[in-house]
Amino acid sequence: MLRLSATLAILGIVVSACGPTSLVSYTKPNVSSDTANRNFVECRQEANALFPAAVFTQSVPGYGGYGAFYGGYPGWGGSYIQARDANEPLRAQHLSDCMTLKGYRQVIHPICTREQLAGRQYQAVSRPPSGASPNICAARTQGGGSTLIDLSKPI
């Protein structure tokens, strides 16, 4: 049982390491949020049209279960389907290039840590700052997205 717990703990660390560690935003002086959002949507639509999803799947044998620990067949844990979109990097690059051509500058914000949030709520940033700031980080929303918050402005 101890081995199973250790394996699950290691699996949790590996899976959490796969999550995003930053959020990219775009900023341009003297541009309203509406205009910035409209430009972002236009660039994203153009990227999606030029590089549509090209998803490839493959069955990957699973490893785990008690059989793997006690000399049994390592594939005893079953298998899972792994999906990969071959065009995702191209869409991301085109989006970045398009926003740069429109005069925006890319700003990378870290994802907020649990320690930073510590169960408190903070004010959302209405407009991305023009540069990286130690008080600004991206918090995950309940809908699965992210929003920028200012750690120096608790609610």
**What is the per-residue pLDDT across 86-107, written as a single tens digit (0 to 9) for each?**
999 999 999 999 999 999 999 9
85: which strand partners?
A: 55
Residue 50: pLDDT band by 50, 70, 90 thresholds? very high
Residue-level pLDDT at 95: 97
Averaged confidence pLDDT in the chain: 79
* 64: in domain: no
Query: What does the pLDDT look like over 63-73, one tens digit per residue?
Result: 655 544 555 55
Residue 125 lies in a domain: yes
Residue 68 lies in a domain: no
pLDDT tens digit string along 130-140?
A: 777 888 999 98
| Average pLDDT rounded to a whole number, residues 106-135 | 85
Give the residue-averaged pLDDT of 125-151.
83
Q: Is residue 89 part of a domain?
A: yes
User: Measured between alpha carbons, how far is 85 from 80 in angstroms, rounded to an integer?
Assistant: 17
Q: Which structural domain range is residue 130 located in?
A: 22-58+77-154
126 domain residue, yes or no: yes
pLDDT reported for residue 46? 98
* 28 half-sphere exposure, CB direction, 13 A CA radius: 15
Residue % of the chain over a pLDDT of 70: 76
pLDDT at position 144: 80
Cα 21 to its chain centre, rounded Å, is 7
Within-domain flag for 138: yes
- Dist. CA 141–CA 105, nearest whole Å: 24
For residue 35, being part of any structural domain is answered with: yes
49 in any annotated domain: yes
Residue 59 is encoded by which pair of tokens?
């069955």
Report how many domains make up the chain.
1
> Which is nearest to 51 in space by CA: 93, 82, 20?
93
